[in-house]
């Protein structure tokens, strides 16, 4: 069929070059699917009748370091990172997959039809020629895009036993695109779920991350559960299914976690926050106890147990240390912002010290996801402002003599003073002046002024020092008033 799709000139230049040299060439796979769906392609793949050696002979800068025949054509002057490196692969036939991961042998094919027959899903088995505007659709990919269906090319069992990662990829594509897997595909995923054990944790993690970062991760995780893949992806979440909670919750732990995750996605939070939302109550099933006197379920210490479980999850999926530490930390302290009426500024300072100033606002975002995941309305405006005000107060640098460019050691070394009350009087007198005129806060000026203050009698110096302390209190109180005014508390 003929259709006009907008292909970047960098891509069409490669297909044109191949065709002028006597070879056939097509843009293929997910990039064609995305063009048809009016989505921005994340990468560009070209398939051709040329061999790797023939491809490399046509382009000045290429890289060929794999056994699958793929040649990377490099545009050194390109600006768009997606278009700087474009993969060009000969038409291929693939032999058996004895390890459920890689073909035992790669055989170059003679035509595009053979190449499309080996592809995973119909919506990816599309080839487009930018010169002739010819679109090749041998397996009903266009129809499946229209019907929003993920369907395998040919027999589903065969496709999944060839490469078991396709089990996750099918769900990931359906989640990202807002599609559903057709009945045969979903049944085959369930039948072959155990094959996922043959896939490296890193490859599983990357597909899982794409599901988490999709617009509707709740649906994706539900499909992982319903398809039977959960024991091979996140077995630690299985106890959450059907695990009832206390009176304040209308959902079981499983649905609560998924709803918290979905809120994080709706707010476009980054990966570590979405993972924290999904895992924040993962410790509840292990700590669930029934209080017969109060007639409620309790989950004391679930945040501590949950952090340990999260450490195991992140290690099993081979997450980098930075994101593992971030998620574990947020899960460990997610219960902190539960009661503002009993929350003190010193307690907020302690949690800031534990999670780090750079993570404290993430903790607030996790609390919001937790609350929305409970089926409750948004945080009470006053309560939310109270949280934010207390965090700002805790993060504020205190007004003190440590702001000065000199300290007691300088007074000893430069002026020969001995430690004593005089130290405090001089430094607080200097602080009052520096608060009024920040430009004088230099070591040179302060030492000269300290020498002058040192010559004053003790009574006068003490009076100046006391004025400095009063000034410090006034400045601190003013800053706190401004913070509270900002948050309207």
Task: List domains and CATH numbers for the chain.
Answer: 9-146 (3.30.460.10), 154-233 (1.10.110.30), 237-395 (1.10.3210), 401-487 (no CATH)
Mean pLDDT of 100-129: 88
Distances, alpha carbon 436 to alpha carbons 429, 440, 450, 461, 474, in Å? 11, 9, 17, 18, 12
Mean pLDDT of 39-46: 94
pLDDT of residue 210: 98
pLDDT of residue 95: 59
% of the chain exceeding 90 in pLDDT: 61
pLDDT of residue 380: 62
Burial 149-188 (b: 16+ CB within 10 A, else e): bbbbbeebeebbbbbbbbbbbbbbbbbbbebbbbeebbeb
Helix (H) or strand (E) run with residue 64 in it: none
Helix (H) or strand (E) run with residue 135 in it: strand 134-137
Burial class (CB in 10 A: 0-12, 13-18, 19+), 22: exposed
Helix (H) or strand (E) run with residue 126 in it: strand 126-129
Mean pLDDT of 212-219: 98
pLDDT of residue 340: 53
pLDDT of residue 356: 86
Helix (H) or strand (E) run with residue 231 in it: helix 230-233
| Parallel/antiparallel/unpaired status of strands 149-150 and 180-181 | parallel
Show Cβ contacts of residue 339 under 8 Å, excluding neighbours closer than 6 positions: none
pTM of the model as a whole? 0.81
pLDDT of residue 100: 60
Q: Which of 31, 14, 32 is nearest to 23 (CA)?
A: 14
DSSP summary character for residue 152: B
pLDDT of residue 117: 94
Mean pLDDT of 456-484: 84
- Does 381 or 355 have the greater pLDDT score? 355
pLDDT of residue 85: 92
Evaluate if residue 120 carries a pLDDT over 70. yes
pLDDT digits (tens, 9 = 90+) for 131-170: 999 999 999 999 999 999 999 999 999 999 999 999 999 9
How far is 125 from 142, CA to CA, in rounded Å? 10
pLDDT of residue 338: 61
- Which band of pLDDT confidence, cut at 50, 70 and 90, is reported for residue 390? confident
Neighbours of 340 (CB within 10 A): 17
Show Cβ contacts of residue 59 under 8 Å, excluding neighbours closer than 6 positions: 14, 17, 73
Show Cβ contacts of residue 253 under 8 Å, excluding neighbours closer than 6 positions: 240, 241, 243, 245, 281, 284, 285
Strand partners, 348: none
Burial class (CB in 10 A: 0-12, 13-18, 19+), 468: buried
Q: Write the DSSP string, 391-402.
A: HHHHHSPPPSGG
pLDDT of residue 199: 96
- Does 472 or 312 have the greater pLDDT score? 312
pLDDT digits (tens, 9 = 90+) for 261-286: 999 999 999 999 999 999 999 999 88
Q: Which of 100, 94, 48 is nearest to 67 (CA)?
A: 94
Ranked by mean pLDDT, the top range of 28-32, 80-84, 364-368, 440-444 is: 28-32
- In contact, 122 and 116? CB cutoff 8 Å: no
How far is 100 from 34, CA to CA, in rounded Å? 28
pLDDT of residue 378: 67
- Does 38 or 289 have the greater pLDDT score? 38
pLDDT of residue 295: 73
Mean pLDDT of 313-319: 98
pLDDT of residue 358: 87
How far is 43 from 93, CA to CA, in rounded Å? 22
pLDDT digits (tens, 9 = 90+) for 50-97: 999 999 999 999 999 777 889 999 988 878 888 999 999 999 987 566
pLDDT of residue 250: 82
- Which band of pLDDT confidence, cut at 50, 70 and 90, is reported for residue 399? confident
Q: At CA 117, angle to CA 113 and CA 120, rounded to 5?
A: 140
Q: Which of 112-116, 232-236, 380-384 has the lowest mean pLDDT?
A: 380-384
How far is 140 from 150, CA to CA, in rounded Å? 11
Distances, alpha carbon 98 to alpha carbons 105, 121, 164, 196, in Å? 10, 21, 11, 14
Distances, alpha carbon 75 to alpha carbons 20, 71, 81, 431, in Å? 19, 13, 10, 60
């Amino acid at each position: 069929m003929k259709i006009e799709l907008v292909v970047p000139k960098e891509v069409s230049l490669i297909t044109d070059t191949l065709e002028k040299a006597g070879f056939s060439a097509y843009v293929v796979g997910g990039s064609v699917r995305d063009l048809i769906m009016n989505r921005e392609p994340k990468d560009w793949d070209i398939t051709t009748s040329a061999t790797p050696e023939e491809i490399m002979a046509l382009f000045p800068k290429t890289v060929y370091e794999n056994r699958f025949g793929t040649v990377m054509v490099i545009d050194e002057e390109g600006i768009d990172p997606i278009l700087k490196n474009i993969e060009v692969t000969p038409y291929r036939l693939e032999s058996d997959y004895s390890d459920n991961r890689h073909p035992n042998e790669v055989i170059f094919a003679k035509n595009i039809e053979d190449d499309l027959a080996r592809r995973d899903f119909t919506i990816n088995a599309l080839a487009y020629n930018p010169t002739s505007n010819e679109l090749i659709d041998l397996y009903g990919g266009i129809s499946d895009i229209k019907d929003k269906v993920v369907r395998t090319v040919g027999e589903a069992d065969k496709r999944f036993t060839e490469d078991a990662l396709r089990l996750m990829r099918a769900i990931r594509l359906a989640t990202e695109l807002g599609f559903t897997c057709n009945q045969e595909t979903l049944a085959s995923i369930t039948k072959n779920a155990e094959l996922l054990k043959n896939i490296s944790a890193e490859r599983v993690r990357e597909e899982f991350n794409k599901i988490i970062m999709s617009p509707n991760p709740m649906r994706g995780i539900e499909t992982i559960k319903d398809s039977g893949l959960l024991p091979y992806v996140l077995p630690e979440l299985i106890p959450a299914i059907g695990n009832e909670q206390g009176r304040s919750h209308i959902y079981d732990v499983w649905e609560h976690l998924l709803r918290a995750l979905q809120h994080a996605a709706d707010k476009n939070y980054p990966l570590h926050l979405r993972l924290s939302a999904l895992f924040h109550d993962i410790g509840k099933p292990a700590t669930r106890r029934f209080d017969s006197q109060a007639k409620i379920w309790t989950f004391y210490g679930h945040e501590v147990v949950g952090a340990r479980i999260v450490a195991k999850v992140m290690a099993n999926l081979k997450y980098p240390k930075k994101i593992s530490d971030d998620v574990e930390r947020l899960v460990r302290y997610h219960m902190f912002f539960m009661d503002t009426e009993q929350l003190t500024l010193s307690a907020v300072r302690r949690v800031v010290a534990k999670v780090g100033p750079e993570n404290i606002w993430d903790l607030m975002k996790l609390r919001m996801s937790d609350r929305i995941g409970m089926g409750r309305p948004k945080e009470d405006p006053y309560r939310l402002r109270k949280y934010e005000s207390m965090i700002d107060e805790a993060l504020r640098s205190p007004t003190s003599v440590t702001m000065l460019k000199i300290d007691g050691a300088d007074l000893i070394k430069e002026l020969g003073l001995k430690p004593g009350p005089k130290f405090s009087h001089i430094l607080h007198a200097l602080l009052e002046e520096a608060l009024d005129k920040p430009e004088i806060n230099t070591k040179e000026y302060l030492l000269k002024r300290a020498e002058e203050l040192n010559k004053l009698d003790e009574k006068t110096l003490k009076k100046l020092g006391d004025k400095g302390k009063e000034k410090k209190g006034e400045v601190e109180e003013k800053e706190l008033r401004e913070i509270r005014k900002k948050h309207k508390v």
